[in-house]
Structure 1
Amino acid sequence: MADEPLSPEDLALRLADVYLLVGPLYRRVLRKVETGEEIDGVGAGVRMVLDLLRQGGPMTVPQMGRAQALSRQFVQRMVNDAAERGFAEAVPNPAHRRSSLIRLTDAGRTAIEAVIARERGLLGQVGGDLTQADVDACVKVLSCMLDELSDVDVD
């Protein structure tokens, strides 16, 4: 039955189908947004940094890496790119002298808000007569997958 839990074997097969769709979907949305009206310097990595800072406030590079399951080195490169473009800046961290907090600048906030608006415009065009229940189920599935893999180390 469609409403009964799947066996572990069947669940694995169905979740593999979901997993194989997530990567290409993510990359296509990013490419579509990046090829729209130009916002200089906001590629996928810089976008991730700016959105983390928008949502969570000032953070350290290691905190951002853990939040996105990315290496500190990669995040540091993206932070450096964002800072070079005037989108983010390092400020003293009262909790740790050697690990600065990174925060959005006004230009960074403007840039990420423009990117998010463009993404929402694109995603609002998705068809399929999707319902709130459909989207809730999708979010539930992806959240369960992410939670189960939360112990995967990226460094």
Structure 2
Amino acid sequence: MSKSDDKPLAPDDLASRLYEVFAVLGPLYRRVSRGVELNEPIEGMPIGVRAVLDLLRVHGPMTVPQMGRAQALSRQFVQRMVNDAAAGGLVEAIPNPAHQRSSLIRLTGVGRTAIETVIARESELLKRVGGDLTGADVDTCVRVLTRVLDVFEDVDVN
């Protein structure tokens, strides 16, 4: 890394370099999505259902609007994914003490087992990345992607 690599980029240069990131993220997302949909224990688990299950695994019960905001997805799309997950016995609606008309959605035992199986399988694949990547490299990647995500925070998903 040369000294010039340590200096902040000018906006035009930064934009073109971030397009390089997008050029990698698109194919990566599509490959991971296909892998989840083709190889998961629940035949054909859509990537949207996987995302809902993982969100509930990490955060506990949530409303559909909360999930939509957290994932930057429309409430309608999240509702369809929740309906699909509920039809498969993966999630269930429970009363929401904070809001009578907006139920909380939580994982069932089957749903928890399904998402934990998915995470374990994905973790095994991620272990193959190897190479000379450091914690600092991963921290930088997360910092850059979070900064880009923040710019698009106000984009309407509905």
> Normalization by structure 1: what TM-score?
0.94
Amino acid at match of 2:132: D
Quick one: distance in 1 between partners of 2:68 and 2:127? Answer: 29
CA deviation string 1:14-58 (max 9, x = no partner) = 111112221220121232233335333522010010011111111
Q: Say if 2:116 is the partner of 1:113.
A: yes
Q: Aligned residue for 2:21?
A: 18
Classify the secondary structure of the residue corresponding to 1:35.
helix
Q: Say if 2:64 is the partner of 1:61.
A: yes
Q: Aligned residue for 2:35?
A: 32
- Conserved 8 A contact 1:41-1:85: no
Quick one: distance in 2 between partners of 1:9 and 1:20? Answer: 17
Flag structure 1 segments of 5+ consecutive residues without an equivalent: none
Amino acid at match of 2:110: A
Q: Aligned residue for 1:101?
A: 104
Q: Aligned residue for 2:151?
A: 148
Classify the secondary structure of the residue corresponding to 1:65.
helix
How many residue pairs get matched? 155
Q: Say if 2:47 is the partner of 1:44.
A: yes
> Normalization by structure 2: what TM-score?
0.92
Quick one: distance in 2 between partners of 1:30 and 1:122? Answer: 14
Quick one: distance in 1 between partners of 2:29 and 2:62? Answer: 24
- Conserved 8 A contact 1:33-1:118: no
Classify the secondary structure of the residue corresponding to 2:43.
coil
* Structure-2 change in CA distance of 1:19 and 1:48 (3 Å): same
Q: Percent of counterpart pairs with the same letter?
A: 70
* Structure-2 change in CA distance of 1:36 and 1:113 (3 Å): same
Flag structure 2 segments of 5+ consecutive residues without an equivalent: none
- Conserved 8 A contact 2:40-2:118: no
Structure 1 segments of 4+ aligned residues over 4 angstroms from their partners: none
Tell me by how many angstroms 1:111 deviates.
Answer: 0.3
Tell me by how many angstroms 1:128 deviates.
Answer: 3.4
Q: Whose RCO is larger (CA < 8 A, sep 6+)?
A: 1
Quick one: distance in 2 between partners of 1:117 and 1:125? Answer: 13
